[in-house]
Chain A
């Protein structure tokens, strides 16, 4: 028993001491700037990139960054926020788990006189109304959908014969959605549909369902759709790259290739080895690589560097100057007039909204996005 007790204690001691980053003293009243980062889940590529940028910026600026990864668990994110608040951390960069939690988070941070800049997952209008010290440092999701529509428009203008499946006069599309009701899912989807209609197309939705942002779910869904609607659709539209690549895998394994015997051959000259084009959003490195392999038609860059830098600059500004009202961050000025998308649709909080532009990644420019 004695030995075992020693073992347990050793493990407990080692566990805390060994992996600790020595940050525990950070917030004890020195001049040092401390920023807390509450990050949803670094298993997601965009969020991982975002966290890496934050770490780099903090190291360069000599700022102590207390980064917490909630691994997709909202309750864990609240616990982590509470822990950092108790440690005296005031200013935060937040990639929340869900929009609906942002108001309570803002209230808790505000109660300690702090501030936060929200990226990726939009905060609610109510969260920004808690105090002028809460910011949106993110990209309007609808723009991603509009860019997807542009990429699709260019493709079908250049290759009108590719609309032959199903209704030959319409774009027959299948849609892979992210988590239903998620702002990114809603706004991206509405915008790409509207964008295609505005460009003069008849849009026929052959099938649509959620794959919860996941490649594996998207692949399974796509396999089922190919069995059910094979040959009836011209296009796959996904709310993110992960699902787009899941669809690409499914199309490849089901033989939707220009030349089933040579998966690298582009026989019809449309720039793709697949017979059905697929578009995504995020411009993750795997997606850009898939474009290089002619498997993915296009994607839209959700700018991890831009969002992280804007949020980080806002947090540092709050820590050093106590206010960021009206100031630019990462060269981006606060919004002056409301747009259609929450939370930047409320005139009372537009001045707290910093919109980081999306960038369309096409066959022409994708090489610029390869790292």
Chain B
């Protein structure tokens, strides 16, 4: 906790400013160090860090998607169920042909089919959400609440409420493989984060997205096609969910109707902790990733220390509330 003292008055203003603008990063690093100290470095071994990254990778795709949506002052409750549905669809095309209980028993599919199918499912739902919100003028909360239920229903119907297991090894390797010490999953996340970062910071579209979240009316007046841009954000998010679904099924080696449950809450919490403001127009890709890793670290740390899972829920809840409180304070002061 000594780190906090560095924000004292005799320290150069630069550091002070850095701390105040990068609170979540500082918090994350401080927690990492703390966890390292109380476990004698055991929690920071390579294997542990690999586990941490692997555990959060799928959620990272969800967080990037919903993070963009929240920046437009929207929300997406369908995230978890869409990821689950796309995991189920992709898994169904990746089952070994000789597995008797396979959904398409006896049929051999090309290895790219489950990947494309999973992403297509996500994209379709993203487009659906986008049309409802942008052109149907439905409040995002309600539109995505509806599509969440539709995705849950489709997931149960498609899987006939059973588990789709026995996935091919060459499919599982997509998520379970390593390049040296680096899990493939980390590579995908880094690529996705860079793509979204470029989109948000170095394209006209990115500027439009921030403008819409800041003030949709003003954005419209300044010549931005708000409806088309909004729809695209939901579509991009859907594509990211589709990828998350594929990676999820490959990682678990199975998918079932429970896959993806409650993931929307984890992803929304992560980006909120990472400083994405629900008031719209504020937030960075870096923030999303730090928020995600912060919650991931808390999860991992508590598992490592053997904390009862019931208490883990309390801690997570407390941290989310605190993060939003801080966010509100920051904005109140600006005004």
Contacts and interface: CB of A to CB of B under 8 A. Distances in A.
Contact of A83 (B48, B165, B252, B315): B48
B304 A87 contact: yes
Contact of A99 (B51, B165, B300): B165
Contacts of A182: 162
A20 B307 contact: yes
A15 B253 contact: no
Given A1-B20, A16-B298, A72-B258, 20 more contacts: A2-B7, A5-B4, A5-B19, A5-B23, A12-B319, A16-B35, A20-B307, A21-B305, A24-B305, A42-B309, A68-B306, A75-B248, A78-B251, A79-B299, A86-B47, A100-B166, A101-B253, A101-B254, A179-B161, A181-B162
Contacts of A202: none
Nearest to B23: A5
Contacts of A87: 42, 304
A6 interface: yes
Interface of A: 1-2, 4-13, 15-17, 19-25, 28, 42, 66-75, 78-80, 82-83, 85-87, 97-101, 103-104, 179-182, 210, 212
A101 B252 contact: yes
Given A8-B326, A19-B315, A66 B23 contact: no
B144 to A, nearest CB: 22
A78 B319 CA distance: 24
B229 interface: no
A68 B326 contact: no
Given A15-B298, A98-B254, A8 B51 contact: no
Contacts of A82: 51, 54-55
Contacts of B301: 16
A79 to B, nearest CB: 4
Nearest to B296: A79
Interface string B20-42: 10010011001100110011101
B302 interface: yes
Interface in B235-282: 248, 251-254, 256-259, 261-262
25 contacts: A1-B19, A2-B7, A8-B319, A9-B1, A9-B4, A11-B319, A15-B307, A15-B319, A16-B38, A16-B305, A16-B307, A20-B302, A20-B306, A24-B42, A24-B43, A70-B309, A73-B261, A75-B252, A79-B51, A80-B303, A82-B54, A83-B300, A100-B254, A100-B256, A180-B162
Interface of B: 1, 3-4, 7-8, 19-20, 23, 26-27, 30-31, 34-35, 38-40, 42-43, 45, 47-48, 51, 54-55, 58, 101, 160-166, 172, 248, 251-254, 256-259, 261-262, 298-311, 315, 318-319, 322-323, 326, 329
A270 B176 CA distance: 58
B1 to A, nearest CB: 5
Contacts of B23: 1, 4-5, 8
A98 B252 CA distance: 11
A67 B310 CA distance: 13
A367 B322 CA distance: 50
Nearest to A2: B7
Given A4-B329, A9-B4, A24-B42, A16 B303 contact: no
B31 to A, nearest CB: 5
